[in-house]
Amino acid sequence: MKCSSGILALVFVLLLLATGKSRAQKEPQYTQYMYNIGSFNPAYVGSVEYTEVAGLYRAQWIDIPGAPRTLRFGINIPFENEKMGMGFNVISDALGPATQTYIDVAYSYQVNLSDEILLSFGIDAGGSILNVDFSEGNFQNPIEPILDTNEINNFYPTIGAGLFMYTADWYLGFSIPNFLTDGIYNDEVATVVEDNIQYNFIGGYVFELSERTKFKPAVLFNYLNGAPLNVNLSANFQFLDAFTLGANYRFDNAISGLAGFQISNSIYLGYSYDYNTNNLGEFNNGSHEAILKFYLGRGDSASNRGRNNNKKLKGKPKQIDSPRFF
C-alpha cells in the first residue's frame, strides 16, 4: 500500500530523529539480545552445549508506515572437540522502501584461561544485499536525481569478528559486525546508506537466588561513530528452570517487558514488548519481538534441567548445560 507524501515525510523525519539522535544503531536492534548473542557476536557460536536453531521476528513502532521489520534465522553448532563452533545467520531488516538482507557464516575457537574461565575468538564472513524500491510511496520531490533509478539492488561483502569470555555464572563479549565500511559508499547509494563501524559490548551475570530461582542483570552497549552511545540495561528472573520474567530499559528510547517459557528441555519461546519513552511514543503503539529456539540433541527429562548449570569441568573447556540464561 502506498503512503501519502505527508505521511511518508513524517515517517522518515521520525525515523531520523529516533535513530540519529536517540541511539547509535546500524545493525538490527533486539530487545531480547541476551538470548540472541550469536546474531551479532561470532565468538558465541562455539560456547553452546547443543546445536541451537533460532528464529526471531521484530515488528517495531506499530502503526507507523514503513517502520522497521526484522526477521532472523540462525544456527549455532558446537564441535565435538569442545573447542570450535560454527554458525549461520540470515537476517532481513526492512525500513521504508529499503530492505537489507545479511547472510554470514561464523567460526569460533575457544581456549581455557583457567579451570572455570573460557575465552572464545570468532570471525564471520558473508554479505549484505541492499534493495531499495523507490516505487513504494509517494515522494514530495519526485525529481530527486536518485529516484530516476527507481530501484537499487546491490551486494556488499561483510567481515566481522568478536570475543566472548564466559564461565557458568557470567559472560563478557565484544564484537564488530563489519569492518568493510568503504564498500557501501558509491555515487549510486551514498544518499541512502551511510556505513560506519559499529562496536558491540555485552555482559551479564547469573545470580542463583535459590535452587530453582535465578536472577540475571545484563547490559548491551552499541557504539557507532558520530552517534550517541546506545545503552540497554535488563534484569531477568528465571523460576523453576522454566519461566522467565524481566524488564529492559534502552536509554532515552524505550522501556520493555520480557517473558519466556521453556516449553520443553529443547524448546524455548520468548516475547518482549517495547514502549517508547521519547517523542516517537506519541505516534506508535510500541514494538513486539518474539524468539523461538530449538536445542537439538538435548533430552527432555525434567530431572536433567539445570543440573549442570554451575558444573566445573577441570582440564578441558567447560560447556554450560541448560536451560541456559544466555
Q: DSSP states of 110-160 as a string?
A: EEESSSS-EEEEEEEEEEEEEEEETTSS--S-TT-GGGGG-EEEEEEEEEE
Interatomic CA distance for residues 256 and 260, integer angstroms:
13
Residue 122 has pLDDT above 90, yes or no: yes
314: in domain:
no
Interatomic CA distance for residues 204 and 208, integer angstroms:
13
**Confidence grade of residue 180 (pLDDT, cut at 50, 70, 90):** confident
Nearest of 124, 100, 107 to residue 180 by alpha carbon: 124
Domain with 242, as residue range(s), is 5-304
**Confidence grade of residue 320 (pLDDT, cut at 50, 70, 90):** very low
* Count of domains forming the chain: 1
The mean-pLDDT minimum among 83-97, 166-180, 272-286 falls in 272-286
CATH number of the domain to which 143 belongs:
2.40.160.40
Query: For residue 154, which phi and psi values (nearest 5 degrees)?
Result: -125, 155
172: in domain:
yes
Pairwise pLDDT comparison (117 vs 65), residue with the higher score? 117
Pairwise pLDDT comparison (14 vs 295), residue with the higher score? 295
Number of Cβ within a 10 Å radius of residue 303: 8
Number of Cβ within a 10 Å radius of residue 80: 6
- Whose cell is 575457537? That residue is 109
225: in domain:
yes
316: in domain:
no
Nearest of 154, 129, 158, 124 to residue 39 by alpha carbon: 124
264 CB-near residues (< 8 Å, 6+ apart): 300
**pLDDT per position as a tens digit, 50-106:** 999 999 999 998 988 888 999 999 999 999 988 999 999 999 999 888 899 999 999
200: in domain:
yes
Pairwise pLDDT comparison (279 vs 48), residue with the higher score? 48
325: in domain:
no
Interatomic CA distance for residues 64 and 66, integer angstroms:
6
321: in domain:
no
pTM for the model stands at: 0.80
323: in domain:
no
